[in-house]
Amino acid sequence: HEDVVGLVIGTRPDCVSEALYDLLNEYSQKTQIFVEFGVQSFNNEQLQWMERGHTGEKSIWAIKKMHEKCPKVNIGIHLMFGLPGETEEQIIESAKLCNTLPLHNVKLHNTHVLKNTELERQYKEGEYEPIELEPYSYLVMRFLQHLKPEIPVHRLTANSSRSDELIAPQWTGDKMYSYQYVIDYLNMNKAYQGQNL
């Protein structure tokens, strides 16, 4: 359609195939194509906890393969912070790994609890504690400080698409407040993307 200026496709690292590469290459001759991989984490223990069904190695493979097979496709990934057992060093290593991959953008998300999920049960039974806004902002800062400036960051925080589904943390429900808080936190700490490279 003449009014379509691009196509954004969200998928998983374990859902790519030769047929998909062919289709994306065909479409990329007509319009801009963006593929966003729901990587969430490169840590296999965290991926297993989320029951993602793929490994960190699979994500790396999918990103490289997409770049190789579909050179005109813009590749992005989603990463999630606030997972159980997560460390600052893991966050920094994720940024360093992103620097080595053929990525065009990154989106950051905070882990949050939604209704009628396994995570809601874990939260209510005290097995999971959601990350608060200040520690989340610190992790975002540390990630950005080690991420090369050439990689655009399209998102700093996540929010539930339906506010009535959100259980915790409550700060996730205020999209503009949480976004501005992270920006202010970065400014307060005189932190910026690529600072520690």
Q: Is residue 162's pLDDT more than 80?
A: no
What was the pLDDT predicted at 70?
A: 97
Task: Check residue 161 and give its pLDDT.
Answer: 76
If pLDDT is split at 50, 70 and 90, which confidence band does 103 have? Answer: very high
The pLDDT of residue 159 is 85
How distant is the alpha carbon of residue 78 from its chain centre? 2
pLDDT at 3: 86
For the cut 90, the answer to whether the pLDDT of residue 7 exceeds it is yes
Label residues 44-80 b or e (16+ Cβ within 10 Å = b). eebbebbebebbbebbbebbeebbeebeebbbbbbbb
pLDDT above 80: residue 1:
no
pTM exceeding the 0.85 threshold for the entire prediction: yes
Percent of the chain with pLDDT over 70: 100
In this structure, are residues 28 and 72 in contact, taking their beta carbons and an 8 Å threshold? Answer: yes
**Token pair for 4:** 């379509």
Per-residue pLDDT, averaged over 73-84, amounts to 97
